[in-house]
């Protein structure tokens, strides 16, 4: 690719890397792979450019700032969520708390969205914190379209359930809070020493004064177990029972 005349800001970096010409999808996929492998702290324009075989400045056409790149990671997760939901659009969740046949379609739909979100989040645990932090920083209308489509999908199911605007908003908030909260609890760090076979030492309970935290020490082994999709579905059923 020919360079523009001059130097400095007028110079335009090539966006043809070692894997061919870049696209937004390729940039976001490479960023997601990097963060999956090495964590959010490893992500920078320079490092991502090195991964793709281009100069860092070439990436600014696809993500004009570090914040935009972080929003792109959120977008990548929601695009993966869409792919999961679209791959089997009418297929019910196999692990809901109650038989799917007994539930109305809108309720089954919410369970499917929750399970698919859970699976995507556990596949990309390093990116999950952005689902909270970027939503705090980015107003609704400026969120990626994939995120807005997810919101629209949930609200459409609540409309199908016959809820009015105010009640649908309340359930939307509760659904989102339960789902993201559950995922965050599932991914929290609990194990102190993975190499230790004895459960108490594995969890590092010897570091916690027993006289100060007796209940927490006793409950720690159970708290360290994942609730899994069954716990997600059971909590969501309880929540929907409250509203519906």
Own/partner pairs for 26-34, CB < 8 Å, 24+ apart?
26/52, 27/52, 27/59, 27/62, 27/63, 27/72, 28/62, 28/63, 28/72, 28/73, 28/75, 28/76, 29/76, 31/69, 31/72, 31/73, 31/76, 32/73, 32/76, 32/77, 32/124, 32/127
Task: Write down the domain spans for the chain.
Answer: 14-64, 66-244
d(CA 83, CA 77): 10
On the question of pLDDT at 234 being above 50, the answer is yes
- When pLDDT is cut at 50, 70 and 90, the band that residue 87 belongs to is confident
On the question of pLDDT at 94 being above 50, the answer is no
On the question of pLDDT at 129 being above 70, the answer is yes
Segment 171-212, tens digit of pLDDT: 999 999 999 999 999 999 899 999 998 888 889 998 988 888
Overall average pLDDT of the 204-228 stretch: 90
pTM score, two decimals? 0.83
Overall average pLDDT of the 32-45 stretch: 96
Token pair belonging to 114: 């929750």
> What class does CATH assign to 66-244?
mainly alpha
The pLDDT score that the predictor gives to residue 243 is 84
Query: Can you give the three-state secondary structure of 1-66, one letter per residue?
Result: CCCCCCCHHHCCCCCEECCEECCHHHHHHHHHHHHHHHCHHHCCHHHHHHHHCCCHHHHHHCCCCH
> Identical fold at 14-64 and 66-244?
no
Overall average pLDDT of the 133-154 stretch: 95
Selection from 109, 114, 113, 117 nearest residue 159 by Cα: 109
The pLDDT score that the predictor gives to residue 20 is 58
> What class does CATH assign to 14-64?
mainly alpha
Overall average pLDDT of the 96-117 stretch: 81
On the question of pLDDT at 96 being above 50, the answer is no
């Amino acid at each position: 690719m020919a360079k523009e005349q001059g130097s400095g800001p007028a110079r335009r970096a090539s966006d043809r890397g070692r894997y061919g010409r870049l696209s937004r999808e390729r940039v976001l996929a490479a960023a997601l792979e990097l963060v999956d492998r090495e964590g959010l702290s490893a992500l920078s324009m320079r490092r991502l450019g090195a991964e793709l075989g281009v100069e860092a400045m070439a990436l600014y056409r696809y993500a004009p700032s570090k914040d935009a790149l972080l929003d792109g990671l959120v977008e990548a997760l929601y695009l993966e969520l869409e792919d999961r939901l679209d791959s089997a659009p009418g297929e019910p969740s196999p692990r809901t708390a109650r038989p799917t046949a007994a539930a109305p379609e809108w309720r089954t739909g919410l369970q499917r969205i929750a399970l698919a979100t859970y699976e995507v989040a556990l596949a990309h645990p390093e990116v999950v914190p952005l689902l909270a932090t970027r939503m705090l920083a980015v107003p609704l209308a400026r969120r990626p379209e994939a995120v807005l489509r997810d919101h629209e999908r949930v609200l459409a199911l609540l409309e199908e359930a016959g809820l009015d605007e105010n009640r649908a908003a309340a359930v939307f908030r509760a659904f989102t809070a339960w789902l993201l909260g559950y995922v965050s609890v599932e991914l929290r760090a609990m194990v102190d020493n993975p190499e230790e076979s004895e459960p108490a030492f594995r969890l590092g309970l010897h570091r916690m004064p027993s006289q100060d935290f007796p209940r927490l020490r006793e409950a720690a082994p159970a708290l360290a177990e994942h609730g899994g999709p069954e716990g997600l579905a059971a909590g969501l059923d309880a929540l929907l029972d409250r509203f519906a």
